[in-house]
Structure 1
Amino acid sequence: MSLINTQVLPFKATAYKNGEFVEVTDATLKGKWSVVFFYPADFTFVCPTELGDLADNYAEFQKLGVEIYGVSTDTHFTHKAWHDTSDTIKKIQYPLIGDPTGVITRNFGVMIEEAGLADRGTFVIDPDGKIQIVEINAGGIGRDASELLRKVKAAQYVASHPGEVCPAKWHEGEKTLKPSLDLVGKI
């Protein structure tokens, strides 16, 4: 079953953010655009490259009113320890949510049950708490924050321009499409 246009299920967790432990819930995601970015585990190999890439692009997401939430099945204490020991992770300013019980990971359908770890799942959530983008990668395939940023811009554009859609490779400022009978067979 697809999660597209479904409401984020209830959850409550503790995250590590900027030297503090903070509570994050499904209600925290409402009222703004959010990216929930699942990764398998702290102190691993591909994960810090992805989280570092997001950190390097965080200001661009913030300009769009988007908050990023990194989630793994590690604890918030482990997130703090990783932050304190890794130069890549030290630059992260967005919340790293601990999900040791796997509730959030299962809610989003990315739990690898036999390992107790999350798949590399990316979810873009609109201000109403509905999932607009779902992307799941195999463990060895890292994601690209600039491509995610492009997709978020497209989702925001479509949300604010009813009746328009963004074609493949669309970038901000480029031409969109207005589906109609006149376009059938003309693209």
Structure 2
Amino acid sequence: MSLIGTEVKPFAAKAFKDGEFIDVTNEDLKGQWSIFCFYPADFTFVCPTELEDLQNEYDNLKALGVEVYSVSTDTHFTHKGWHDSSEKIGKIKYAMIGDPSQVITRGFEVLDEKEGLADRGTFIIDPDGVIQTVEINAGGIGRDASTLINKVKAAQYVRNNPGEVCPAKWQEGSETLKPSLDLVGKL
């Protein structure tokens, strides 16, 4: 069953953000766009390159009204330790959620049960707490955070313009489609 169109399952967790430990719940997602970026583990190899890349896009995402959360099955204490010891992770300003209970990771259906670690899952969540996009990569395949900008813009456009959809490679300001009987077989 797909998670698209489903509400984020309830959770409560501790996170490390900008030098502090904070509490994060599913209710914090309401009223804003959110991105959840799951990754296997702290102190690894592909993960710091992805999380740094996500930080490089953080200001652009914030300008779109999006809050970013990274999640692994490590603890918030481990996140702080990694933040303090890694140049790449030390740049991160968004919340790094610890999920040692695996409640969040299971709720998003990205838990590798055998390893007890998260898959590389990326989710865009609307202000109602409903999942709008899902992308899951194999462990050895890093993600490109710049692709999130257009996905967020498209999701926001579709939300704000009922009855319109964004075609492949849609860019902000370009044409959209209005699905109707007249379009059938003409594209």
TM-score by length of 1: 0.99
Aligned to 1:180: 180
SS in 2 for 1:77: helix
Deviations 1:152-176 (A, max 9, x none): 1110110001010000111111111
**1:16 counterpart residue number:** 16
Name the counterpart of 2:50. Answer: 50
Which region of structure 1 is more displaced relative to structure 2, 145-154 or 101-110? 145-154
Pairwise CA distance, 1:77: 0.4
Aligned to 1:27: 27
Q: CA RMSD in A?
A: 0.6
Q: Does 1:96 align with 2:96?
A: yes
Which amino acid is the alignment partner of residue 13 of structure 2? Answer: A
The reply on whether 1:129 has 2:129 as its aligned counterpart is yes
Q: TM-score, normalised by structure 2?
A: 0.99
Q: What amino acid maps onto 2:141 in structure 1?
A: I
Which secondary structure state, in structure 1, belongs to the residue aligned with residue 143 of structure 2?
coil
Cα deviation code 1:34-84 (max 9, x no counterpart): 001100000111101110001001000000000000000000000000000
1:85 corresponds to:
85
Confirm whether residue 41 of structure 1 aligns to residue 3 of structure 2: no
Q: What is the DSSP-based 3-state SS (H/G/I as helix, E as strand, rest coil) of the residue aligned with 2:97?
A: strand
Q: Which residue in 1 is equivalent to 2:138? A: 138
Contiguous gaps of at least 5 residues in structure 1: none
| Code of the aligned partner of 1:92 | I
- What is the CA distance between 1:101 and its match in structure 2? 0.8
Unaligned runs of 5+ in 2: none
1:67 maps to 2:72: no
1:154 aligns with 2:175: no
Aligned mates of 1:151, 1:39 — CA distance in 2: 20
Quick one: percent identity of the two aligned structures?
Answer: 70
Superposed displacement of residue 125, structure 1: 0.5
Distance in 1, Cα, partners of 2:157 & 2:49: 28
**Partner SS state of residue 87, structure 1:** coil
**What is the letter of the counterpart of residue 44 of structure 1?**
T
Equivalent residue, structure 2, for 1:165:
165
Question: Matches of 1:96 and 1:106 in 2, distance apart?
Answer: 17
Measure the CA separation in 2 of the matches of 1:174 and 1:42.
40
